[in-house]
Amino acid sequence: MPNVIELKNVNKIYGTRVKSQILYDINLEIEENSINSVVGASGSGKTTLLNIMGTLDRPTSGEVIIDGSNTKNMAQHKLAKLRNQAIGFIFQFHFLLQEFNVFDNVLMPSKIQRNNRTEVKERANRLLDMLGLYKYRQYNVLDLSGGQQQRVAIARSLINNPKIILADEPTGNLDLHSSEDVYNIFKQVNKEYGVAFVIVTHDKQLAGRVIKIQDGLLASRSARGWEGASSGRSPGV
């Protein structure tokens, strides 16, 4: 299966005077249509890894290949376009734009793309319907519950039909019931649209691959059990 994201020898070092290395020589491949959970202790670098995968952050060294294109020397506006087309983001907070209603929020990534076609509006309606939000289309986002807001954010992340969704603790702010909802939606979307997921999570590990970060190194558990995903030092599991 082709990879939607590939990390090659990615290192991340924060700080200039006092250097602290968060990621060591990471090599990681995210396959099309796969579900991946990223786990690890607080401060272990999960968010850092996800931001690098999403091209929001640049690695100190190493290469990030998104959907076949190497992002190493991409200009800012090219990266922006790549993010817009290939990646959907979901964060712990919904980050909806309070100035716009539910429907416009869902359409935002398509508007950035200057895609005004009727199909995209139909898609927005379909997504909202699937997420049980159809009747809230014209609501202001501030008038929704936390779970509903997060579901709007999910619809928004899907509107441009991305290859991959990166979710950083998407249920961190939700109660157990809403969290279950969100994970079920992820599974459904994965099945229906074939979108790959990388989900940073504290609480629950979804079925699929689990990527564990420890001491800046990765260990991955798949059907074959735990194995080192990094070519560097062997991780202490």
Instruction: List residues binding ligand ATP (CB under 6 A).
Output: 14-15, 22, 40, 42-48
Question: Between 67 and 219, whose beta carbon lies closer to another protein?
Answer: 67
Minimum CB–partner distance for residue 51 and ligand ATP (Å):
8
Binding partner selected for residue 81 from ligand ATP, another protein, Mg ion, none, CB under the kind-specific 5 to 8 Å limit: another protein
CB contact at 8 A, 88 and 4: no
Per rule CB under 5 A, is residue 201 in the interface with Mg ion? no
Give the residue among 31, 28, 80, 81 at the shortest CA–CA distance from 50. Answer: 28
Minimum CB–partner distance for residue 47 and Mg ion (Å):
3
Instruction: State both tokens at 5.
Output: 């994201």
| Whole-number Å distance between alpha carbons of 52 and 45 | 11
CB atoms within 10 A of CB 198: 25
Query: Which residues in this chain contact another protein in the complex, by CB under 8 A?
Result: 47, 51, 54, 56-57, 76-77, 80-85, 89, 91-93, 95, 97-100, 108-109, 111-114, 156, 168
Question: Between 48 and 160, whose beta carbon lies closer to ligand ATP?
Answer: 48
Residue type, 60: T
- The radius of gyration of the chain from alpha carbons, rounded to an integer in Å, stands at 18
Question: Between 51 and 190, whose beta carbon lies closer to Mg ion?
Answer: 51
CB contact at 8 A, 90 and 153: yes
Q: Is 17 helix (H, G, I), strand (E, B) or coil?
A: coil
Q: Please give the residues from 3 up to 62 whose contact with Mg ion meets the rule CB under 5 A.
A: 47
Note the residues at the interface with Mg ion (CB under 5 A): 47
